[in-house]
């Protein structure tokens, strides 16, 4: 019914496809609060949690502090702990220094990550829909293959021949070499299948078929709108993962044509190896896109991680 546009506010825990299968039909939570724990936290718990949260934030905070001051402020003990006033100047210098390649890195990373994210969303909704709602021979075996492939660290194992292939194709130092192997992954299909199974009622699909809708038409008009919340989560996770990807771009791209992560390695080991505030400024720049996503969509990211796991 209204699942298509289901606002997350009304049902924050609703898309929990990972719950035990036999219990799926039952509602799991009755309480309205997300963290409706049984016990009240003790003072120790609160202090401990606050300490861990502080440890989580401190390195990020300190990066901003040093990026906004001069390098010598980072040495000595206690080190500087309050931001200075040089951040704007440093960012400008970082972005315009031709040896730092940060702008090119940002551009390349945006192209790669954007393409990969759109592709993963598109192909995962197609495949997930097929596995969840369509009957076809061999679907069980094929799905088992998908699950198995999620378990195997193919990237490390296959990196040698993949690199050889790229050499043969003369694709070294091209963006397509970085993009193509990541266009789809098992996790996306698995996640979309789980979500589709409970977000799209079979009756609606049957009804659309009787009305003469094609499979692709059903996908476009019924499945995609229903999957929208899951698509957002998958898109966010994919974007974060690929923005931070290092090993494969490191293998196939050169320092002259880097992703943002390669550019950070470059500035920290060569360009400014002695200038900590410039290194931290560059690092800060590399984090900003993900940090913005995290601040805007943090709720979805938290839900996505929690739902994708609780088997």
Q: Which of residues 192-231 bind another protein (CB under 8 A)?
A: 212, 214-216, 219
Residue 143 tokens read as: 């799905």
C-beta of 186 vs 235, nearer to another protein: 186
Q: Helix, strand, or coil here: 39? A: coil
Going through the chain in order, the beta strands assigned E by DSSP cover none
Q: How far is the CB of 99 from another protein (least distance, A)?
A: 15
Give the one residue of 65, 106, 126, 222 binding another protein; rule: CB under 8 A. 126
7 near another protein, rule: CB under 8 A: no
Q: Restricting to residues 158-177, which ones interact with another protein according to CB under 8 A? A: 158-165, 167
C-beta of 1 vs 83, nearer to another protein: 83
Is 47 buried (19+), middle (13-18) or exposed (0-12) by CB count in 10 A?
A: exposed
Q: How far is the CB of 201 from another protein (least distance, A)?
A: 19
Contact criterion met (CB below 8 Å) for 262 and 249: yes
Q: Restricting to residues 249-268, which ones interact with another protein according to CB under 8 A? A: 250-251, 261, 264-265, 268
Give the one residue of 7, 32, 76, 88 binding another protein; rule: CB under 8 A. 76
Q: Which stretch binds another protein (CB under 8 A): 90-98, 110-118, 226-234, 293-301?
A: 293-301
The Cα–Cα gap between 187 and 154 comes to 14
The Cα–Cα gap between 215 and 209 comes to 8
- CA 273 distance to own-chain centroid: 30
Q: How far is the CB of 217 from another protein (least distance, A)?
A: 9
The Cα–Cα gap between 167 and 38 comes to 58
Give the one residue of 3, 15, 17, 63 binding another protein; rule: CB under 8 A. 63
287 near another protein, rule: CB under 8 A: yes
Residue 135 tokens read as: 């009957």
Binding flags for another protein, 90-119, as an x/- string (CB under 8 A): ------------------------------
Q: Which stretch binds another protein (CB under 8 A): 52-60, 87-95, 100-108, 225-233?
A: 52-60
The separation between the first and the last C-alpha atoms of the chain, rounded to the nearest angstrom, is 27
C-beta of 207 vs 247, nearer to another protein: 247
The Cα–Cα gap between 164 and 90 comes to 40
C-beta of 41 vs 92, nearer to another protein: 41
34 near another protein, rule: CB under 8 A: yes
DSSP state of 169: T
Is 71 buried (19+), middle (13-18) or exposed (0-12) by CB count in 10 A?
A: middle
């Amino acid at each position: 019914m209204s699942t298509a546009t289901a606002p997350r506010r009304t049902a924050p825990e609703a898309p929990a496809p990972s719950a035990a299968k036999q219990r799926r039909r039952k509602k799991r939570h009755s309480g309205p609060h997300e963290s409706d724990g049984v016990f009240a936290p003790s003072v120790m718990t609160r202090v401990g949690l606050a300490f861990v949260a502080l440890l989580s934030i401190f390195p990020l905070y300190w990066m901003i502090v040093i990026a906004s001051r001069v390098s010598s402020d980072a040495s000595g003990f206690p080190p500087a702990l309050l931001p200075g006033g040089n951040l704007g100047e440093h960012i400008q210098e970082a972005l315009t220094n031709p040896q730092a390649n940060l702008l090119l890195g940002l551009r390349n990373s945006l192209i790669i990550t954007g393409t990969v994210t759109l592709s993963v969303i598109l192909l995962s909704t197609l495949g997930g829909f097929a596995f969840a709602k369509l009957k076809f021979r061999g679907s069980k075996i094929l799905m088992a293959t998908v699950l198995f492939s999620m378990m195997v660290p193919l990237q490390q194992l296959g990196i040698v021949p993949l690199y050889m292939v790229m050499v043969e194709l003369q694709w070294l130092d091209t963006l397509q070499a970085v993009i193509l192997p990541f266009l789809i992954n098992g996790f996306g299909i698995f996640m979309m299948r789980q979500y589709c199974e409970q977000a799209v009622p079979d009756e609606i699909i049957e009804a659309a078929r009787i009305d003469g809708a094609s499979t692709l038409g059903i996908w476009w008009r019924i499945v995609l709108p229903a999957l929208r919340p899951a698509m957002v989560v998958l898109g966010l996770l994919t974007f974060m993962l690929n923005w931070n990807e290092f090993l494969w771009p490191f293998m196939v791209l050169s320092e002259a044509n880097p992703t943002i992560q390669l550019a950070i390695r470059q500035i920290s080991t060569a360009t400014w190896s002695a200038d900590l505030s410039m290194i931290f400024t560059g690092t800060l720049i590399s984090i900003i896109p993900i940090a913005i996503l995290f601040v805007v969509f943090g709720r979805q990211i938290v839900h996505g991680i929690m739902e994708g796991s609780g088997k």
